[in-house]
Amino acid sequence: MNFSKSGLTTLADVLVFAFPILVLCVPRGAGLFLAGIAILMLAGRRGMGRAWREYSDFLVPLAVSVVLFVAVFIFSKVYHDTPWNVIDNPSRALLAILACWVIARTSPDPVHLWRGITIALAGAFLIVVYQKFVMGVPRPSAWIQAIAFANMVAALTLVGFARPGTSRGEHAEAWLNVLLGTSILMLNGTRGALVAMLVAIVPMLMVRYRRLNFRTFVLALCGAAVLGAGAYLVPDSPVSARVDDAVREIQQYQHGQIETSVGVRLKIWHLGMQYFAEHPWSGVGVGQFARILHASTFCQETQSTACVLEHAHNDIVETASTTGIPGLIVFLGLFLVPAVLFARVMRACRSNVCPKGVSLGGGGLGVVLSALICGLTQVTLAHQANVVFYAGLTGLLLGMAARESRVAQRHTLAPVSSSSMTSNVVRMTAVTGT
């Protein structure tokens, strides 16, 4: 395949636009996205080396964090002699490097991503409404595992909220994304994702409203609070039912009742961290959390439902107890390294030279924060869809943000170059006397 530069950019525009629609609304859509990345890489292979060198300040830190993560998990597999299939999901984090590299090479317009997000959220809303009220599905989630679907909705809503623009129409579209995302999560019933989205919305108000004054901040904060309260107070709301259940189950756990959704989680977290304290450097082996439960005195003496679970329902507990301190460090690196890179872009673009860069950086920080909060009640690596989505979205955002960062650098250097040229002319005039 031999594509012109404009042809590659057009293909990249299509893929960026389609990404949110594929992952939320199309069965096995993540596979189509992976195929699209592969096609773009093959089509633009002649410029890939140059793109790596040009954007090495983004690609190298990202690559180091991902490769170290995969290497530590492979070492854990070899050290504990566990099956190779436990590396399947962790290895998919490599997509972040590939997506960032390809997007930096092909330079799509980020506007297409924001347009795709609104369409994807609207489509996902129609799908879950049909599944909930026509098919009678208790926790509708299109064709994805319910928690993974909710995490995707929360992250894409935050990216859609961070879109640039100061007109009333652009602000309205940003809040429409939040309204659609909240509605989907209410019907889906995943508490962690809804909390993650509403918490992350608060700092992202400063991204949405660049010239934030006190009045605007209060109004926007009230808008987020109204959405949260509405999600809870709507009659027969799944959110209020799930929140009330959580409060009641915590109280029951305090009185010794473990056999509830929250009670089981609290118990396995205790067992997991207890094992981590005893084996801080090696853990039990990647993907082997169930061994901790089966070997515990609690599970040997009882027939609790906690003892049949396969993972910890918490990223920190799972990673610490299975791969030890090294695994925990490299796992957190998957979130913290992109966060630092996104913050760098926001600083470079803060002077309104490239508003798209601020929105991409802010949206990326929202994705990271949302993923960390969601990880408090589920295990990212337990679901292939979760890993592919996080790696793919992070790579897309970083690739586009890296290009916007270059735009900001060129605007910063241009006045300096012009000033230097003027000074040289003045000096030459003084010397020649003309």
DSSP notation for 153-175: HHHHHHHHHT----SHHHHHHHH
Nearest CA to 151 among 336, 339, 375? Answer: 375
* Whether the Cβ atoms of residue 132 and residue 189 lie closer than 8 Å to each other: no
Mean per-residue pLDDT of the chain: 88
What mean pLDDT do residues 276-285 have? 95
Specify the pTM.
0.89
Residue 70, pLDDT > 90, answer: yes
Based on its alpha-carbon atoms, the radius of gyration of the chain, rounded to whole angstroms, reads: 24
Mean pLDDT of the 158-163 span: 96
Alpha-carbon distance of 99 to 395, in angstroms, equals: 5
Per-residue H/E/C for 102-114? HHHHHCCCCHHHH
Tell me, what's the pLDDT at 3? 59
Top-confidence residue, 210 or 236: 210
Q: pLDDT, tens digit, for every residue of 78-98?
A: 999 999 999 999 999 999 999
More confident residue, 252 or 311: 311
What is the DSSP secondary-structure string of 304-370?
-GGGG-SS-SSHHHHHHHHHHHHHHHHHHHHHHHHHHHHHHHHHHTTTTT-HHHHHHHHHHHHHHHH
Q: What band does 222 get if pLDDT is binned at 50, 70 and 90? A: confident
The tens digit of pLDDT for each residue in 322-374 reads: 999 999 999 999 999 999 999 999 988 876 578 899 999 999 999 999 999 99
The pLDDT-based confidence of 61 (bands split at 50, 70, 90) is very high
HSE-up of residue 229 (Cα within 13 Å, Cβ side)? 6
Q: 276: Cβ–Cβ under 8 A, 6 or more apart, which residues? A: 283, 317, 320, 321, 324
* 400: pLDDT strictly greater than 50: yes
What's the pLDDT at 428? Answer: 43
Cβ atoms of 47 and 97 within 8 Å: the answer is no
pLDDT at 152: 97
| pLDDT 10s digits, 107-160 | 999 999 999 999 999 999 999 999 999 999 999 999 999 999 999 999 999 999
Decide if 406 contacts 347 (C-beta within 8 A). Answer: no
Q: Is the pLDDT of residue 217 over 80?
A: no
CB 112 within 8 A of CB 15: no
Distance CA 14, CA 103 (A): 12
Cβ within 8 Å of residue 107, ≥6 positions away = 9, 12, 403
Q: How far is CA 105 from CA 17, 255, 342, 401, in A?
A: 17, 58, 18, 12
Buried/exposed 192-207: b ≥16 CB within 10 Å, e otherwise: bbbbbbbbbbeebbeb
214 band by pLDDT with thresholds 50, 70 and 90: low
What was the pLDDT predicted at 419?
Answer: 45
Give me the pLDDT at residue 352, please. Answer: 57
Question: Residue 213: its pLDDT value, please?
Answer: 62
Give CA–CA dist 233/411, Å, rounded: 49
DSSP string, 26-42: STTHHHHHHHHHHHHHH
Under DSSP, is residue 143 helix (H, G, I), strand (E, B) or coil? coil
DSSP symbols for 353-384: T-HHHHHHHHHHHHHHHHHHHHTTSS-GGG-H
For 249-258, how does the pLDDT look when each residue is reduced to its tens digit (9 = 90+)?
778 777 777 8
**pLDDT of 413:** 62
Mean pLDDT value across residues 175-182: 95
pLDDT in tens, 407-421: 777 766 655 444 444
Q: Closest by alpha carbon to 243, among 222, 262, 220?
A: 262
